Amino acid sequence: MQNLSPSIRHLRDLIAIPSVNPMGRDDLPPEIVGEHAVAEHLSRALGKLGLDAALVGEGGRTSVVAEARATNAMDTLLVASHIDTVPVDGMEIDPFDPAIEDDRVLGRGSCDTKAGMAALLEALSRVLENGRLARNVIIVGEADEELSSIGVHDVLKHLGSRRPDWVLATEPTELCLINAHKGVVHTQVCAHGRACHSSDPTQGQNAIVLLAKAILSIDESARVFTDRPHPELGPATLSVGIVHGGQAPNIVPDEARIWVDRRTLPDETPAIVQEQIEAAIRSAGVESQVVVESCSEEKPPLHTDASSIAVGATADALAREGLSGDCGQVAFGTDAGVFGRAGIPGVVLGPGSIDVAHTSREFVPIDQVETMVRIFERVLEGAGGPR
Ligand SMILES: [Zn+2]
């Protein structure tokens, strides 16, 4: 292992510190849950580069923020590389003892997305050393990307009125430049009926039957999405993901509930989603018993203009590495969308493939990590600006 490059040594160190997002579960070993330990490690690593890092967030859900300032900075970039990972149930490899096989690094978080942060650390080290830093860079390792992005909100609060000009969020895109993805809105719909003994159902009102009428109407309401596809992202989608209801076969149920997963286009908000679902409930004629209980945006959609500095700088850095700077789209949500909701345009880029993220054999190809180091170097040295 002596011949590992600095970026791969950083990556192995980061994987070896568990930072599992509990994602609402309480059955996980406490020693692998939360981002605090990896945030502290990053704070020390940034300190070795001469940067003061702040730790923000509560309850072990810690994010790390630091800034490197350039003289005569052309702009301010924020690099967001989330430090949480999904849980490790059923993994075929040791999730926290990163092995190297076939020019890949294996381990939980290897591609999603500790490789992004590892590449950034090494690029920063090179550029601070050669004195060619051309932009201010806010380095963020944020908690909780995998669930509700509390890390981004903690970081924005910490930054106060200071706002970067643009954001680069690292995620496994196989080094493709991503400027657009759909958003995710989760809606909970509840039917309220009246319970009674099932031997005489006429005495009650069956919440499951009421909800069933609403479900069919909500599902049907998604048909129109194909009439107005987004030119790059395609149509919005809707899926009823969970249904709960009833206590026993011999009780007419008084309550039943569904959760609806809605993938939104850039011009759609949670309010629009809620109105559409309520309209579907009305058209089923059950609006007095079936109501939307909650409607929350888990990840906002992303659509960054191709003429923005975010796209221009990243595309230029990719081109200088002989890679395509064309914009693409992904099917998953990212924290770039959360920064976008806050008015900061952003792109998504990083080593590794989403196809192996969250899997039992997560890995990242070493050559992509090394290329990402050079892409970051070029961005930090002013790619996209006047040459
Ligand atoms: Zn990720």
Domains observed in the chain? 6-181+301-380 (3.40.630.10), 183-299 (3.30.70.360)
56 C-alpha to ligand 1 centroid (Å): 20
106 C-alpha to ligand 1 centroid (Å): 16
105 C-alpha to ligand 1 centroid (Å): 16
C-alpha 25/C-alpha 7 separation (Å) is 32
352 C-alpha to ligand 1 centroid (Å): 11
100 C-alpha to ligand 1 centroid (Å): 21
113 C-alpha to ligand 1 centroid (Å): 5
**pLDDT value, residue 1:** 57
**pLDDT value, residue 189:** 98
209 C-alpha to ligand 1 centroid (Å): 39
| Mean pLDDT in consecutive groups of 10 residues from the start of the chain, 387 residues | 88 98 94 98 98 97 98 97 97 97 97 98 98 98 95 98 97 98 96 97 97 98 96 95 95 97 95 98 98 95 96 98 97 94 97 96 98 98 87
pTM given for the model:
0.90
363 C-alpha to ligand 1 centroid (Å): 13
User: Length of the chain, please?
Assistant: 387
114 C-alpha to ligand 1 centroid (Å): 9
Residues bordering ligand 1, an ion, CB closer than 5 Å: 112-113, 171
178 C-alpha to ligand 1 centroid (Å): 14
C-alpha 162/C-alpha 192 separation (Å) is 47
172 C-alpha to ligand 1 centroid (Å): 7
Q: Which residues contact 105 (CB under 8 A, 6 or more apart)?
A: 8, 11, 12, 15, 98, 99, 115, 363, 364, 366, 369
Q: Which residues contact 42 (CB under 8 A, 6 or more apart)?
A: 14, 53, 64, 83, 117, 141
**pLDDT value, residue 331:** 86
Q: What is the CA radius of gyration of the chain?
A: 23
36 C-alpha to ligand 1 centroid (Å): 18
**pLDDT value, residue 385:** 86
- Which residues, in sequence order, are bridge partners of residue 54? 65
Determine the 3-state secondary structure of 370 from DSSP. Answer: helix
79 C-alpha to ligand 1 centroid (Å): 13
180 token code pair: 């657009």
Is the separation of the CB atoms in 259 and 242 below 8 Å? Answer: yes
**pLDDT value, residue 2:** 58
**pLDDT value, residue 387:** 60
